[in-house]
Amino acid sequence: MFLSLLLTGFLTLVELNCENLFDCHHDSLKQDTEWLPDGVRKWTPARYWRKLNHIGQEILSCQEDGVPDLVALVEVENDTCLFDLTRRSLLRGARYDYLMTQSPDVRGIDVALLYQPMTFRPICYDMLEIQPREGMRPTRDILYVQGETLSGDTLHVFVVHAPSRFGGEKQTRPNRQLIADRLMGVISLLPKGSKVIVAGDFNDGATDPALRFLEGHGLHNVTAGATGTHGAKATYRYQGRWQSIDHVFVSGRLLDSVKQTYINDAPFLLEEDKKYGGVKPLRTFNGYRYQRGFSDHLPLVVRLNF
């Protein structure tokens, strides 16, 4: 299977919130009992493997000429899930390697970066811990990977899953600002002119304070206006309203390299929204009703030309 950078000079990045990619085994240190065969979601091996193949199908459908070079994944439980996804699902032919965090998140969810070894060679990586505010639950670490592309460019890639709005947007706003502060604290230490990519689920829109803070400190939100071709106006839909809470930012040195941004809203990833009209992502569960879907988020795609 050929790779995009080898064929065209483009490097393709995909960002995807997998919507609860859990395995079927209990981790005694995490609150994962609903994702067990005898849990409330009846998360059986058959459902787990269907989920893995669906995530693989989503990733492969993001690009026609080869497979994406980098995939920033959000809401993955552990190394078992990543190993099964990259080595044992229908994604195995893409030959991805991966790096992931091991966060103190109470549910056990983390972030990861899949990469094509032929087009991206990691030099070093780290897990950036977030010190919770008083009364705040432990949250996901930020994954940082420094690597070299086939073109010889050095990229600094950050994968983010910011705290949710559960408890109220205004009340939880400082929690997401913590992520922005931590990010910029590290990025500010990089050499001047570094090529930086920040991708993930920020649980905020482009005009919300934490994201405006990032832009005010030199990052550019290149996916703020991204849409799909089959009805998606953003990556996530809640109560009939499309919301852009998944984002990709780049530093100024990379801005001219960004040639295309879009949402992968292939028809098989969508279903009719019978209540509000239009379409919405075909998710794995609708409440607690299993519906054999993919994710409640759609993949976000960025193509860079080196």
User: pLDDT tens digit string along 100-148?
Assistant: 999 999 999 999 999 999 999 999 999 999 999 998 999 999 999 999 9
Cβ atoms of 91 and 85 within 8 Å: the answer is yes
Q: Over range 245-259, report the average pLDDT.
A: 98
**Predicted local distance difference test score (pLDDT) of residue 65:** 86
C-alpha Rg value of the chain to the nearest Å: 18
pLDDT tens for 268-285 read: 999 999 999 999 999 999
pLDDT at 306: 86
Q: What is residue 1's predicted lDDT score, i.e. its pLDDT? A: 45
Q: Is the pLDDT of residue 251 over 60?
A: yes
- List pLDDT tens digits, range 66-105: 999 999 999 999 999 999 999 999 999 999 999 999 999 9
pLDDT of 304 above 70: yes
Q: What is the pLDDT of residue 2?
A: 45
User: CA 104 to CA 42: how far, in whole Å?
Assistant: 25
pLDDT at 242 over 80: yes
Q: What is the pLDDT of residue 5?
A: 54
Check pLDDT > 60 for residue 4: no
| SS3 per-residue string spanning the chain | CCEHHHHHCEEEEEEEEEEEECCCCCCCCCCCHHHCCCCCCCCCHHHHHHHHHHHHHHHHCCCCCCECCEEEEEEECCHHHHHHHHHHCCCHHHCCEEEECCCCCCCCCEEEEEECCCCEEEEEEEEECCCCCCCCCCCCCEEEEEEEECCCCEEEEEEEECCCCCCCHHHHHHHHHHHHHHHHHHHCCCCCCCEEEEEEECCCCCCCHHHHHHHHCCEEECCCCCCCCCCCCCCEEECCEEECCEEEEEEHHHHCCEEEEEECCCHHHEEECCCCCCEEECCCEECCEECCCCCCECCEEEEEEC
**Closest C-alpha among 86, 196, 82 to residue 142:** 196
Report the distance separating Cα 100 and Cα 95, nearest Å.
Answer: 17
Residue 6 scores a pLDDT above 70: no
Question: Does 179 have pLDDT greater than 90?
Answer: yes
Q: What percentage of the chain exceeds 90 in pLDDT?
A: 95
Q: Which residues pair with 242 in a beta bridge?
A: 237
Average predicted confidence (pLDDT) for the chain:
96
pLDDT at 197 (0 to 100): 98
Distances (CA, A) of 21 to 70, 171, 284: 18, 28, 10
pLDDT for residue 173 is more than 70 = yes
CA dihedral 187, 69, 22, 58 (to 10 degrees): 130
Length of the chain measured in residues: 306
**Residue 238 pLDDT > 80:** yes
Strand bridging mode 110-115 / 70-76: antiparallel
Q: Using 50, 70 and 90 to split pLDDT, how confident is the model at 9?
A: confident
Q: What is the mean pLDDT of residues 244-262?
A: 98
